[in-house]
A = this chain, B = another copy of it.
């Protein structure tokens, strides 16, 4: 399956009767080249179908014109049944925006093993919701790769697109209360992703405001649905008064639904379940899950543009705020 033999710069030089340097200068508009010579070189190149090597051009320019999109979530949360979730929704929009700017987008999806980042020739990367000590972000930074994140990285001043986490948390908690819940528990992932920390803060504030005893359960996100279910079953056994679960990730919300089923609780009458990401899982689970439209496509486009502006060295604001999130109420909370 070898392609057609590609003419080289030497072929053009031979055909035009000049040196390779002259060909290079003539075609790239550098140095002084006699206009008639330039004309002869251009014509020889066209006749031979010569195209300068992209890679050589890029070596000269120092740019690969490729950016990476990196998932920072474990496979159990971002892969498997969530494979078409958050990461791929961002990827679709980011790839489109990047291409329209003449950049290619390379995907680094959730992997069971460490992604082979050192073999990626990228000018910059977008990291999705990195944890405070995200090792992938660190590795890229140690290689000098400029990074932009979707959702801020705590404890850093990484340029980012702000998904308005506190507002998202408010939307979910206020909605659960409107649907009659007065003992809402928080089902959280471990780690210090900024979304988790912001949600915990909003929840603490909300609990104080409404005189509701706070109940926060942490589960290991790498366990996905199963750890979510186990944590939820334990919580409900110890606190049968809980009438709503606000789950930080959709895998945990599915776990909460399973826990309710195994305990014979009706959703939403006995237990309301809501989660953040309005993805395939929220839309296709039984019952369908109340979630929030984060305007991810727009966040992805903004992240690409922010990264490209940083690569160009343009003076830009280092935080782009996404449009206000919108609640999408569904069967899992609508008590009627």
Contact = CB atoms under 8 A, between A and B. Distances in A.
Among A6, A120, A121, A297, the one with the most B-chain Cβ atoms within 10 Å of its Cβ is A121
A3 B64 contact: no
Contacts of A89: 83-84
B111 A96 contact: yes
B95 A109 contact: yes
Given A96-B111, A104-B106, A108-B99, A59 B53 contact: yes
Interface in A266-286: 280, 283-284
Contacts of A310: 1
Given A55-B55, A66-B106, A106-B105, A99 B121 contact: no
Interface in A67-108: 68, 83-84, 87-89, 91-93, 95-96, 99-100, 102, 104-108
A249 to B, nearest CB: 18
B91 A54 contact: no
Contacts of A139: none
Contacts of A119: 54, 65, 102, 104
A91 B87 CA distance: 11
Contact of A107 (B55, B105, B159): B105
A84 B83 CA distance: 10
A88 B99 contact: no
A58 B121 CA distance: 10
Contacts of A104: 66, 68, 106-107, 119-121
A113 B96 CA distance: 11
A66 B104 CA distance: 10
Contact-size category for A: 35 or more
Contact of A83 (B4, B59, B92, B106): B92
Contact of A144 (B4, B107, B297): B4
A237 interface: no
A263 interface: no
Contacts of A113: 100
Given A64-B55, A120-B104, A115 B144 contact: no
Main DSSP-derived SS at the A contact region: mixed
A159 B2 CA distance: 13
Contact of A106 (B88, B106, B141): B106
Among A58, A68, A145, A283, the one with the most B-chain Cβ atoms within 10 Å of its Cβ is A58
Contact of A88 (B91, B145, B159, B284): B91
Given A53-B59, A58-B55, A3 B84 contact: no
A155 interface: no
Contact of A59 (B4, B55, B95, B96): B55
Nearest to A61: B55
Given A99-B116, A121-B54, A1 B88 contact: no
A126 to B, nearest CB: 13
Among A120, A283, A310, the one with the most B-chain Cβ atoms within 10 Å of its Cβ is A120
Contacts of A51: 118, 143
7 contacts: A3-B141, A3-B146, A55-B55, A64-B121, A84-B92, A84-B280, A105-B107
